[in-house]
DNA sequence: GATCCGCCCTGACAAATGTCACGGTCCGCC
DNA sequence: GGCGGACCGTGACATTTGTCAGGGCGGATC
């Protein structure tokens, strides 16, 4: 019996997937969590063979949780299942020790198949996405540039960002300018969108 | 046998829901579409008793399609199933003739139950969401203000927007200013977010 | 030790943005 | 007809934003 942990914030999606996996003869969903910061605890309690993790979760990113999970429960494989096939996400997932990367845009049948392949020791990655990740190259943004960009996502002014990060306003403008340059965009709003699309945040 | 049409862009979600509904003794998914502009055609061909529509779909909004569907196939009830419980969405759904409004954050079991209630002539609406929709009041933005805001979502400059809408730059700035004032925000980025959160775009 | 590189800051500048007051047209409504 | 409101425009203004050219600090690397 394959024991599965499911981390997904949308309740309807989570329920549907759980039902679906439980229909498989050899699978059993032993834990379901709606938030990223509950993943490790739940896994240590339920000891699943494989963890299906969404990336964009409340509390904590599924990617961060994946790295922790691999360290604390190496017997549990990690399969990332996410809405967005962002190149940077795939790269970070691999670095975090994930064994597979699926997009929710694929057919449902792929899910159970992917789980079995992952448990057989294979790596499961969308070929097109892998190509995109390679062609996009690594994340060009420095830590600080990412900090400033993420602080700017919801329309914060330079003063807001400077206050939140304890930087001077001129410095914040510099980082924003650098990020705009590196993303090849024209203003902070475009830079934020470009960085998100690539999974750089 | 209850015949169901399913409009949802995420393939995995669509597949999971279809499987789930087909498990119900008295239901049958007779059509599945991934885009908003395929809804009416598919419905006229398959003649379902109820249509489950997502709102944010490629091609055409599920809300627009709902209005058309009600006009062209009045026997088919409309149930909106969406990720975001935005007050303005609920309001527009009701105006478009929808019989129910579910958020994907609810339990899966609600789905089949809601379908049966809708077919029995009931209206199915999340009570908390209904309250939010009423307290938020109607959309305060004029048509032009919405146009300008939607054109500004992806970081377009004033010049870009003016070109796209064939307005002068000064006029665009005026509409943006008006929208910022009405949303109680500080810049266009916050205004866009606030308008989206309320379902005003 | 010298040399990068990321990081933090400054000051100054041009361009874009947001605000205000104003005049005009068109349309629906009392 | 008069009125209000959505709509389009102008010009001027203060503020914010993005850019550029600097300097200084600490850690890693050769």
Are A32 and A57 found together in one domain?
yes
Question: Total structural domains in chain B?
Answer: 2
CATH code at A155?
1.10.10.10
User: Terminal CA-to-CA distance of chain A, rounded, Å?
Assistant: 37
Per the structure, the complete domain to which residue B7 belongs is given by: 2-135
CATH code at A69?
3.40.50.2300
Q: Confirm whether any atom of chain C, the nucleic acid strand, is less than 7 Å from CB of A174.
A: yes
Protein CA at A142 to nucleotide C1' at C3, angstroms? 20
Boundary of a domain, candidates A110, A135, A160: A135
Residue A30: what pLDDT? 97
Question: Crossing angle, helix A39-46 and helix A62-72, to 10 degrees?
Answer: 30
Are B124 and B154 found together in one domain?
no
pLDDT score of B137 more than 80: no
Are B71 and B157 found together in one domain?
no
Residue B167 CA to residue B159 CA, distance in Å, equals 9
Are A122 and A44 found together in one domain?
yes
Largest CA distance in chain A: 61
Mean pLDDT of chain A: 92
The lowest-confidence range among A52-56, A130-134, A183-187 is A130-134
**pTM of this structure:** 0.87
Q: Confirm whether any atom of chain C, the nucleic acid strand, is less than 7 Å from CB of B22.
A: no
Residue B104 CA to residue A14 CA, distance in Å, equals 10
Nearest CA in chain B to A104: B12
Are B163 and B187 found together in one domain?
yes
Percent of chain A with pLDDT over 70: 100
Strand C near-CB residues (< 7 Å), B 161-180: 170, 173-174, 176-177, 180
Are A103 and A177 found together in one domain?
no
- List C-alpha distances in Å: A19 to A74, A98, B8: 26, 24, 19
Q: Which residue is nearest to nucleotide C20 (CA to C1')?
A: B174
Are B66 and B120 found together in one domain?
yes
Boundary of a domain, candidates B91, B107, B135: B135
* pLDDT range class, residue A102, cuts 50, 70, 90: very high
Are A104 and A155 found together in one domain?
no
Protein CA at B146 to nucleotide C1' at D2, angstroms? 30
Residue B97 φ then ψ, to 5°: 95, 20
């Amino acid at each position: 019996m394959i024991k599965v942990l499911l981390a997904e914030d949308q309740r309807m999606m989570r329920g549907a997937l759980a039902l679906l996996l439980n229909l498989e003869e050899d699978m059993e969903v032993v834990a379901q969590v709606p938030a990223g910061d509950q993943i490790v605890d739940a896994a240590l309690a339920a000891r699943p063979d494989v963890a299906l993790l969404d990336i964009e979760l409340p509390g904590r990113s599924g990617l961060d949780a994946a790295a922790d999970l691999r360290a604390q429960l190496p017997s549990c494989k990690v399969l990332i299942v996410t809405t967005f096939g962002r190149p940077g996400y795939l790269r970070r997932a691999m670095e975090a020790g994930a064994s597979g990367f699926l997009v929710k845009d694929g057919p449902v049948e792929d899910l159970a198949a992917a789980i079995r392949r992952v448990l057989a020791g294979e790596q499961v990655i969308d070929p097109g996405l892998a190509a995109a990740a390679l062609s996009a190259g690594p994340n060009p943004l420095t830590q600080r540039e990412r900090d400033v960009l993420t602080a700017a996502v919801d329309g914060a002014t330079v003063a807001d960002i400077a206050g939140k990060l304890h930087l001077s306003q001129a410095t914040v403008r510099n980082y924003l300018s650098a990020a705009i340059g590196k993303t090849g965009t024209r203003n902070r709003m475009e830079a934020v969108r470009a960085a998100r699309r690539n999974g750089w945040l």
